[in-house]
Structure 1
């Protein structure tokens, strides 16, 4: 057991975060996302929502500051955007990371997600809650 690691971050998830390099992406997927059918490594965090996982991951995960966007959201194609996005913005702001959000049309998001390093399967019930994070470098 280690100190100061949130219990929500499983050993498998910590291993994935450590294995990722600069520019690799990770998808935090809602409960409706077809995680296992895209051929990418899946880490299951059943029973948890994306906001709590996002908050825990950002304690260890630097966002890429060498790109135009380092956070990608799946568009719902409606004028009213998902409420959960407000939670994401607050968590990202509180993390002190330099975040740059881009919203992708649903099928473009699915295409992008085929190339992520890993998918975290959650029990998030909010619709269009999927979020991709692009890993940056640790600055000392």
Structure 2
């Protein structure tokens, strides 16, 4: 164990976060996300038993968001016609506001298949047991 490091961040996950450079991207994926098939060129780290909010809080404690882009955080937009509730979006925005002075305006949305395209280019995909729909979060790393 280390002081000041959230216990949820496993040694493997810490290693992968440390390897990331400025502008590299990571996905925090909900339980329905096709992480293994999309992440063929990414490192996939499983955090079973944990939700998106808990993982996001921990990651944002050790990784800054990119200050050189307007929206270093992207959520998967709803498929047109899907009326699924998305309270997780407010949770993500609240967590981002805690660490980025620009507030929730740094959070954008990507159409589902565009999100998949971007996720396929990510350096790291963190899987979760999140049951909320549309709870996938794409983060772009900033400068430490």
- Per the TM superposition, whether the score is higher than 0.5 is yes
Does structure 1 retain, via aligned residues, the 8 Å contact 2:29–2:135?
yes
Higher helix share: 2
Whether 1:16 aligns to 2:16 is yes
Distance 1:57 1:98 in 2: 18
Indicate which of 127, 133, 137 corresponds to 2:139: 133
Structure 1 unaligned regions, length at least 5: none
How many residues end up aligned between the 2 structures? 138
In structure 2, relative to structure 1, the CA distance for the partners of 1:116 and 1:20 (3 Å cut) is same
- Secondary structure (helix, strand or coil) at the match of 2:45 reads strand
Structure 2 unaligned regions, length at least 5: none
In structure 2, relative to structure 1, the CA distance for the partners of 1:66 and 1:96 (3 Å cut) is closer
Whether 1:90 aligns to 2:110 is no
**Paired residue for 2:125?**
119
Indicate which of 94, 101, 111 corresponds to 1:105: 111
Distance 2:11 2:127 in 1: 15
Distance 1:81 1:22 in 2: 33
Indicate which of 65, 72, 78 corresponds to 2:67: 65
Give the TM-score normalised by structure 1. Answer: 0.92
Query: RMSD across aligned C-alpha pairs, in angstroms?
Result: 1.5
Indicate which of 76, 79, 98 corresponds to 2:78: 76
Distance 1:79 1:97 in 2: 31
1:63-107 deviation line (CA, Å, top 9, x unaligned): 001112100100113577611011111111112454511101101
Give the TM-score normalised by structure 2. Answer: 0.90
